[in-house]
Chain A
Amino acid sequence: MSQTASEIRLTRARGRPLEQALRWLFFACAAISVMTTLAVVGVLSVETFYFFQQVPAVDFLFGTRWTPLLEPKSYGILPLLFGTTLIVIGAAIVALPVGLACAIYLSEYAGNRTRDLVKPILEILAGIPTIVYGFFAITFVTPILRTLIPSTEVFNAASAGIVVGIMVLPMVASLCDDALRAVPNALRDGAYSLGATSFEVTAKIVVPASLSGIFAAFVLAISRAIGETMAVTLAAGATPNLTLNPLESIQTMTAYIVQVSLGDTPAGTLSYQTLFAVGAVLFSMTLILNLIANAIMNRYRDVYE
């Protein structure tokens, strides 16, 4: 069917309502992410606000006793912060050097076949659910630790820290690998042509050139360690304890949140609201760390030429 020129209409007769509707639908889907952020910030802020009306913020942030569920009640979060910190330190000691060394090996030394073998293995390690790591901590790491150092308690920060480190290790290795591989080969060529060994090129030229990427990886790893829940709930204990001794039982912020929700504390009570207050601190810490890591990667992006 052919039309004469005068019959052809170029304007939209109906404005294509379907297209418009679909566009709004898709926008709504994308906006859900913004709504999620609003929900997170909103819920945590509101509940924490109510909490601070009954417990002064200073007492909460700087108090040294955390017994919100037992008499006499005390709402100082420092023991939980110390507990989380112990885990993070343990995880960092395990994951950061090992992850960086793995990345150096994969990026600077390994051939393609080795990379194709090791990288999937690291991905598998990254995909193992955290509950499995908790199990591993209790059934494998803790018994070994207690054999080596008999004064280690059944629940202790070291086991959990080690295992969280193993969990975070693949992420560190992968991100550091990306950072190292982003260094242009021209730099390596220049260094080798001056008569340097592979150690000198790697340690004194390549790694320094990718330092901000490596640092961002470390910050992200710490953020994940802070947010880790199941391994520490199973292995680190439920005893808020203001200590720096990794062989003792402690409680992290995340483990406390689990404890409250598993227990019988009635909703609406102050003790229950501690859940949100601790959640708010947890969320703030990880958010700040993630923003720092992003800022490092964006603003201080490694410049090579």
Chain B
Amino acid sequence: MNVQALRLKKRHRIASAFKLFCLSVTCLAVAILGILILEVTLLGLPWLNFDFLTSFPSRFPEKAGILAGLAGTLWLATLTAAIAIPIGVLAAVYLEEYAKPGRVSTFITINIANLAGVPSIVYGIIGLAIFVRFLGLDRSVLAGAMTMSLLILPVIIIASREAIKAVPSSLRQVAFALGATRWQVTRDHVLPQAMPGILTGVILALSRAIGETAPLIMIGALTYIAFVPEGPMDEFTALPIQIYNWTSRPQQAFHELASAGIIVLLLVLLIMNATAVWIRYRGSKNKFM
């Protein structure tokens, strides 16, 4: 059995080496995140001050600020939320509560799954052709919001459907047995129960929308504006576009400005994601059963 013993040693060595390899690779992936955040913070933190947050872009880095981008992103997020959330949630309600399982329902589901995988720039192209040109909305915040809504609609629908599916059917049965209509059951029982899951999905979808650049470039969001939008038909810029603009300049100072902008963007996303986690946590304490 001595050959066996030698072979065993070798096999064990290979097993340990493999485990070490997988562990190292995982640590590498985690480390990359650390490096990324470190680099951005080191470059950008010195530029992050009140003036930065309240100034408009400028040819002179010292005077440049992110106000226009921040305002534009807030406008965009609000409008997109106002458009996409109702449509997305109600679409999910239809598919889960009203639609009979069958060809139509399956077709819509497949459609949504495919749309979720379409590159964001294609949504930009559609937004350009339909909202900007055909509907004549030009380079407005509204056009941007409508384009972004199309982009995140599949994500909202899929997440909301999961949340609604998770509501136990016994809850619906009880409500129906009391003589309620389908809408009453949905409005008063299913939706409230599914709300934490829906909100989580919505927030994650919105944070994706906030970080997207390509569709906004396509519909013509400007890269250099010195004003804050005052209405949905105004032209606008957004945080990621501003970051893109600064990053694409060769001067080091603008790169540092860009990283300051990135810090602001990541902070906004962090707040949103933390809210989503908090909602998920709060929601899991309030379940029906």
> A299 near B: Cβ within 8 Å?
no
- With most chain B CB atoms within 10 A of its CB, the pick from A44, A124, A129 is A129
> B217 near A: Cβ within 8 Å?
yes
Residue of A nearest to B259 (CB): A135
| Cross-chain contact B23 with A109 (CB below 8 angstroms) | yes
Residue of A nearest to B21 (CB): A101
In the bound complex, residues from chain B placing their C-beta under 8 Å from that of A197 are 11-12, 14-15
Q: What mask results when residues 183 to 214 of chain B are scored 1 for a CB within 8 Å of chain A, else 0?
A: 10000000000000000000010011011111
In the bound complex, residues from chain A placing their C-beta under 8 Å from that of B154 are 33
In the bound complex, residues from chain B placing their C-beta under 8 Å from that of A198 are 15, 18-19
| Cross-chain contact A29 with B87 (CB below 8 angstroms) | yes
> B2 near A: Cβ within 8 Å?
no
CB distance from A127 to the nearest CB of B (A): 7
| Cross-chain contact A129 with B25 (CB below 8 angstroms) | no
In the bound complex, residues from chain A placing their C-beta under 8 Å from that of B58 are none
- With most chain A CB atoms within 10 A of its CB, the pick from B28, B93, B125, B133 is B125
| Cross-chain contact A261 with B220 (CB below 8 angstroms) | yes
In the bound complex, residues from chain A placing their C-beta under 8 Å from that of B157 are 30, 33
8 A Cβ contacts from A21-68 to B = 22-23, 25-27, 29-34, 36-37, 39-40, 43-44, 47
| Cross-chain contact B269 with A127 (CB below 8 angstroms) | yes
The CA of A108 and the CA of B15, in the complex, are separated in Å by 12
| Cross-chain contact A33 with B91 (CB below 8 angstroms) | yes
- Taking residues whose C-beta sits less than 8 angstroms from the other chain, chain A's interface range is 35 or more
| Cross-chain contact B118 with A26 (CB below 8 angstroms) | no
| Cross-chain contact A26 with B90 (CB below 8 angstroms) | yes
> A140 near B: Cβ within 8 Å?
yes
The CA of A122 and the CA of B112, in the complex, are separated in Å by 25
8 A Cβ contacts from B224-264 to A = 240, 243-244, 247-248, 255, 258-259, 262
| Cross-chain contact A290 with B90 (CB below 8 angstroms) | no
> B22 near A: Cβ within 8 Å?
yes
CB distance from B150 to the nearest CB of A (A): 6
| In-complex Cβ contact of B262 among A33, A36, A135, A254 (8 A) | A135
Q: Tell whether A43 pairs with B18 under 8 Å between CB atoms, given A29-B90, A261-B220.
A: no
| In-complex Cβ contact of B39 among A29, A136, A202 (8 A) | A136
Q: Which of A209-217, A241-249, A280-288 contacts B (4 or more CB under 8 A)?
A: A280-288
> A91 near B: Cβ within 8 Å?
no
> B273 near A: Cβ within 8 Å?
yes
> B130 near A: Cβ within 8 Å?
yes
| Cross-chain contact B125 with A227 (CB below 8 angstroms) | no
8 A Cβ contacts from B71-130 to A = 86-88, 90-91, 93-95, 98-99, 107-108, 111-115, 117-122, 124-126, 128-130
Chain B contact residues, CB within 8 Å of chain A: 11-12, 14-15, 18-19, 21-23, 25-26, 28-30, 32-33, 35-36, 39-40, 43, 86-88, 90-91, 93-95, 98-99, 107-108, 111-115, 117-122, 124-126, 128-130, 133, 150, 153-154, 157, 181-183, 204, 207-208, 210-214, 217-218, 220, 240, 243-244, 247-248, 255, 258-259, 262, 265-266, 269, 273
16 pairs of residues in contact across A and B, judged by CB atoms under 8 Å: A30-B108, A33-B153, A97-B25, A132-B36, A132-B40, A132-B211, A132-B266, A135-B262, A139-B247, A198-B18, A258-B218, A261-B218, A282-B119, A282-B121, A283-B118, A294-B113
Known: A33-B157, A130-B211, A279-B125. 12 other contacts (CB 8 A): A29-B90, A30-B91, A30-B108, A30-B157, A43-B125, A101-B21, A118-B30, A127-B208, A129-B213, A203-B18, A254-B119, A258-B217
